[in-house]
């Protein structure tokens, strides 16, 4: 029987034992009692905004990232936009509607109260970013422009061409730089957190590796915040940046932080299809393209076969022979259904043989209608950089005239296919964003908090910046309030020494395996297992096979890995090996969670649980909870703990995007 928790873990009183510490003069600087230090790990949108805000509020912030500059955090990749309930289009939007759409988009598996708070602060985020000078797109008259994203029937997405993440990150980075200049934030670039240090049940510091020198360093603080992104790269091929990893989150999990809803992995419908086995990265074509691009496959199987054989091209197929399957199946939302729905629909068509490309694993995203309606200049203004990116990778320009049939001009379409993109699961946090370890907080993509079983487009940036600018800076103070009289602990404590020793020993272990296989070759194999057995369509049997294969491959990793070089100085292969060790833990966790959840919801699709029309079939009676997992040691099944969901404002019902 699983344990049951609720979402409010009180910070609790200062433990008696701390008084002993004072007596033993184990505290760093007893005179400087009000100096409160916070470690923020990560400088993506969540981490940079949190570090800047905490610095501005007077805390001393230690901020670390693995890149050589905060500006290179993965957040920079975000293309399409960020949601807010401003209702600038006068189309009936409101805080409640954004709240409702997000809860519905998450297939009623999000914590309702968190989502309401997110919708409430969404407008402040836009104001904050405009004040920082973020160049959001504007209408001719000067108003901020909007476009639509999946799962919404209003236009509420603010954007800066196809570079929204980059511009938002530059805004956050400028605030962060102010605080660095003011001496409130100390920035450590090319530092990787390897472990969290727990003293008397509270997070009191971290062990980080200086990635340039290879040296381990100890950092202590009154609280630790991790903002280290998602675990999509467990699948090897994903739209995430190559450096994205889940090491910090997995270490926190190993130290006792619950990991929530790991099986909720988002597969994005519009990515450039895989084109060979030498590939290490997939490229996203922003969801914003679905505003004006129409998704289709041929109606006739012989056309699909000709396209796969290369004897026919998409632009040779006339309108009446095209199956705009999303518009056909979901007339109310059409091409703008949520990502999980669009991805499954693409898979269904490809599984039935209607896929295009030489692999049969792709569908068309076509701009012919919008270019004919709006003109190429307007379409380029909206999506120019995305068209160029597509051309650079595939050598096809989607705005190129290709054919005229019955007087209708056709342009070359894009080819797209679903790929792993975002992870809704993450470190469990309470309403204050505190994990199950007091003093340890998690924000941005690395927590599980707001998206339920599926994230709507343009809401990751909203959540990351809500957490960083508007939620954590306030909630963390409820914890820090009782810390004010207890200055940070010394890094000489045995807890730090022990954690450092373990990290060091792990590096020795990996270097000394001296086997024959590279990190990438094993990671790629793990990715295949994940995609095949823990991917878009899951079954109990497949998940069990996947887990078995993962165990076997992990043994191979432990006995036949080859990591060149030493731990001194820069050793990227060693860093990758550490990440892969943690992807194994993560992959198994995703599979355990998927196996335990005998229902389909959002990004978690169990083939045994679907309607006759192939839609996800939830089981609210038995699975209306957040599934939190507690680590039980390597090779052991983790323990499931349930946080029941409570909905007060929204009626839980079956998702409907058809009418
Ligand atoms: C191609 C692409 C396009 C996207 N487009 C959109 C969009 O249009 N709209 C939207 O809302 N969302 C979008 N997303 C999702 C969104 O970009 C991410 O969810 C979001 O940026 C995550 O921000 P974050 O701050 O949580 O993490 P990240 O940006 O991933 O930052 C993680 C930070 O943690 C640091 N870090 C990681 N591990 C360690 C460690 N062990 N030690 C020290 N530092 C560490 C990294 O250096 C980095 O600074 C997109 C995602 C992708 C992949």
**What SS3 string covers 502-528?**
HHHHHHHHHHHCCCCECHHHHHHHHHH
Strand partners, 562: none
Closest listed residue to residue 562, CA positions, set 504, 522, 502:
522
Whole-model pTM? 0.93
60 pLDDT more than 60: yes
Q: CA angle at residue 460 from 627 to 385, to 5 degrees?
A: 145
Report the atom number in ligand 1 closest to the C-alpha of 239: 53
- In whole angstroms, give the CA distance from residue 164 to residue 185: 25
pLDDT mean over 408-433: 96
Going along 443-494, which residue ranges are E strands?
Answer: none
Q: Whose CA is nearest to atom 21 of ligand 1?
A: 75
42 CA → ligand 1 middle, Å: 9
Task: Quote the CA–CA distance of 482 and 220 in Å, as a whole number.
Answer: 17
Tens of pLDDT, residues 545-584: 999 999 999 999 999 999 999 999 999 999 999 999 999 9
517 CA → ligand 1 middle, Å: 29
Q: Is 77 in the pocket of ligand 1 (CB under 6 A)?
A: yes
Q: Nearest C-alpha to atom 27 of ligand 1 is from which residue?
A: 229
CA of 490 to the centre of ligand 1 (A): 32
pLDDT score of 317: 96
Determine the distance separating the centroid of ligand 1 and the alpha carbon of 241, expressed in angstroms: 8
Ligand 1: residue of 50, 75, 238, 458 to mutate (most ligand atoms within 8 A of CB) is: 75
Q: Specify whether the CB–CB gap between 259 and 628 falls below 8 A.
A: yes
User: Is residue 10 pLDDT above 70, yes or no?
Assistant: no
Ligand 1 neighbourhood includes 164 CB (under 6 angstroms): yes
Give residue-wise pLDDT tens across range 500-543.
Answer: 999 999 999 999 999 999 999 999 999 999 999 999 999 999 99
Cα 284 to Cα 418: distance, rounded to the nearest angstrom:
9
Q: Return the higher-pLDDT residue of 58 and 42.
A: 42
13 pLDDT exceeds 60?
no
| Residue 16 reports pLDDT greater than 80 | no
Residue closest by Cα to atom 5 of ligand 1: 78
- Residue of 44, 390, 465 best suited for mutating to test ligand 1, as the one with most atoms within 8 Å of CB: 44
Say yes or no: CB of residue 244 within 6 Å of ligand 1. yes
**Ligand 1 within 6 A of 41 CB?**
yes
| Edge-to-edge strand ranges of the sheet holding 37-41 | 185-189, 60-65, 37-41, 223-226, 440-442
Q: Name the more confident of 276 and 273.
A: 273
Instruction: Give catalytic residue positions.
Output: 339
Task: Indicate whether residue 65 lines ligand 1 (CB < 6 A).
Answer: yes
Minimal-distance CA residue to ligand 1 atom 15 = 460
Mean pLDDT of the chain: 93
CA Rg, the chain, in Å? 25
44 lines ligand 1 (CB under 6 A): yes
Measured CA to CA, the distance from residue 44 to residue 186 in angstroms comes to 16
| Cβ of 43 less than 6 Å from ligand 1 | yes
Pick from 303, 542, 285, 314: nearest CA to 410: 314
**Rounded to an integer, what distance in angstroms lies between the CA atom of residue 95 and that of residue 86?**
8
Instruction: Decide whether any atom of ligand 1 lies within 6 Å of the 575 Cβ.
Output: no
Q: What is the pLDDT of residue 5?
A: 60
Ligand 1 centre and the CA of 21: distance in Å? 38
For the chain, the 3-state helix, strand and coil shares in percent, each to the nearest 5, are 40, 20, 40
For 590-622, letters b (16+ CB in 10 Å) and e give: bbbbbbbbebbbbbbbbeebeeeeebbbbeeee
Residue 578's SS3 state is: helix
Per-residue pLDDT for 651 more than 50?
A: yes
Q: How far apart are CA 577 and CA 251, in angstroms?
A: 14
- Cα of 74 vs centre of ligand 1, distance in Å, is 4
Count CB atoms within 10 A of the CB of residue 163.
19
167 alpha carbon to ligand 1 midpoint, in Å?
Answer: 14
Phi, psi of 336 (to 5 degrees): -105, 35
Name the burial class of residue 78, with classes exposed (0-12), middle (13-18) and buried (19+) by CB atoms within 10 angstroms of its CB.
buried
To test ligand 1's pocket by mutation, which of 68, 69, 77 has the most ligand atoms within 8 angstroms of CB?
A: 77
Q: Is the CB of 125 under 6 A from ligand 1?
A: no
In degrees and rounded to multiples of 5, residue 410 shows phi and psi of: -110, 145
| Structure confidence by residue, pLDDT tens digits, 117-133 | 999 999 999 999 999 99
Query: Dihedral of the CA atoms 399, 356, 323, 269 (nearest 10)?
Result: -80
**Strand bridging mode 265-271 / 322-323:** unpaired
């Amino acid at each position: 029987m699983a344990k049951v928790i609720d979402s409010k873990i009180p910070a609790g009183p200062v433990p008696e034992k701390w008084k002993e510490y004072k007596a033993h003069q184990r505290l760093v600087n007893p005179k400087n009692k009000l100096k409160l230090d916070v470690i923020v790990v990560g400088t993506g949108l969540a981490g940079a905004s949190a570090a800047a805000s905490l610095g501005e509020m007077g805390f001393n912030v230690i901020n670390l990232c693995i890149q050589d500059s905060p500006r290179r955090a993965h957040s920079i990749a975000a293309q399409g936009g960020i949601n807010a309930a401003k209702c600038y289009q006068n189309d009936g939007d409101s805080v409640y509607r954004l709240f409702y759409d997000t809860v519905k988009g998450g297939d009623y598996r999000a914590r309702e109260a968190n989502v309401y708070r997110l919708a409430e602060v969404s407008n402040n985020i836009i104001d904050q970013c405009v004040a920082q000078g973020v160049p959001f797109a504007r209408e001719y008259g000067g108003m901020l422009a909007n476009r639509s994203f999946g799962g919404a029937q209003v236009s509420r997405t603010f954007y800066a061409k196809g570079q929204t993440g980059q511009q938002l990150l530059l805004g956050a980075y400028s605030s962060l730089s102010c605080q660095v200049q003011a001496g409130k934030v100390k920035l450590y670039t090319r530092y990787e957190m390897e472990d969290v240090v727990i003293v008397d049940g509270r997070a009191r510091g971290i062990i980080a590796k200086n990635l340039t020198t290879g040296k381990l360093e100890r950092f202590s603080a009154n609280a630790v915040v991790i903002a280290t992104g998602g675990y999509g790269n467990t699948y090897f091929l994903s739209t995430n940046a190559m450096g994205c990893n889940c090491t910090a989150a997995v270490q926190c999990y190993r130290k006792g932080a619950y990991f929530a809803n790991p099986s909720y992995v988002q597969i994005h419908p519009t990515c450039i299809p895989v084109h060979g086995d030498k590939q290490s990265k997939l490229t996203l074509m922003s969801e914003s393209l679905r505003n004006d691009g129409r998704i289709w496959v041929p109606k006739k199987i012989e056309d699909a076969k000709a396209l796969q054989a290369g004897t026919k091209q998409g632009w040779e197929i006339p309108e009446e022979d095209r199956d705009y399957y999303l518009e056909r199946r979901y007339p109310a939302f059409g091409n703008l259904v949520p990502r999980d729905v669009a991805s499954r629909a693409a898979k269904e068509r490809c599984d039935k043989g209607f896929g295009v490309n030489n692999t049969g694993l792709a569908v068309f995203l076509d701009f012919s209608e919008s270019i004919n309606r709006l003109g190429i200049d307007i379409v380029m203004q909206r999506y120019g950089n995305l068209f160029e990116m597509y051309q650079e990778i595939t050598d096809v320009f989607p705005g190129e005239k290709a054919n005229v049939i019955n007087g209708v001009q056709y342009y070359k379409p894009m080819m797209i296919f679903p790929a792993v993109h975002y992870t809704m699961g993450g470190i469990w946090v309470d309403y204050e964003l505190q994990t199950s370890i007091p003093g340890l907080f998690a924000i941005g993509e690395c927590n599980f908090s707001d998206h339920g079983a599926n994230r709507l487009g343009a809401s990751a940036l909203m959540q990351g910046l809500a957490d960083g600018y508007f939620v954590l800076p306030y909630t963390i103070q409820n914890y820090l309030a009782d810390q004010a009289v207890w200055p940070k602990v010394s890094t000489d404590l045995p807890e730090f020494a022990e954690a450092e020793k373990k990290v060091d020993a792990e590096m020795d272990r990996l270097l000394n395996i001296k086997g024959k296989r590279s990190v990438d070759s094993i990671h790629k194999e793990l990715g295949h297992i994940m995609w095949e057995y823990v991917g878009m369509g899951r079954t109990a049997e497949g998940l069990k096979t996947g887990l078995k294969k993962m165990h076997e491959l992990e043994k191979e990793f432990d006995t036949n890995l080859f990591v060149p070089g030493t731990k001194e100085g820069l050793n990227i292969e060693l860093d990758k090996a550490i990440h892969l060790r943690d992807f194994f833990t993560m992959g198994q966790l995703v599979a355990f969670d998927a196996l335990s959840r005998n229902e389909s919801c959002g990004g978690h699709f169990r083939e045994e649980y679907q309607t006759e029309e192939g839609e996800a079939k939830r089981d609210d009676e038995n699975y209306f909870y957040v599934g939190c997992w507690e680590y039980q040691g390597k090779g052991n099944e983790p323990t499931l703990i349930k946080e029941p969901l409570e909905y007060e404002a929204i009626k839980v019902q079956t998702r409907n995007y058809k009418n």
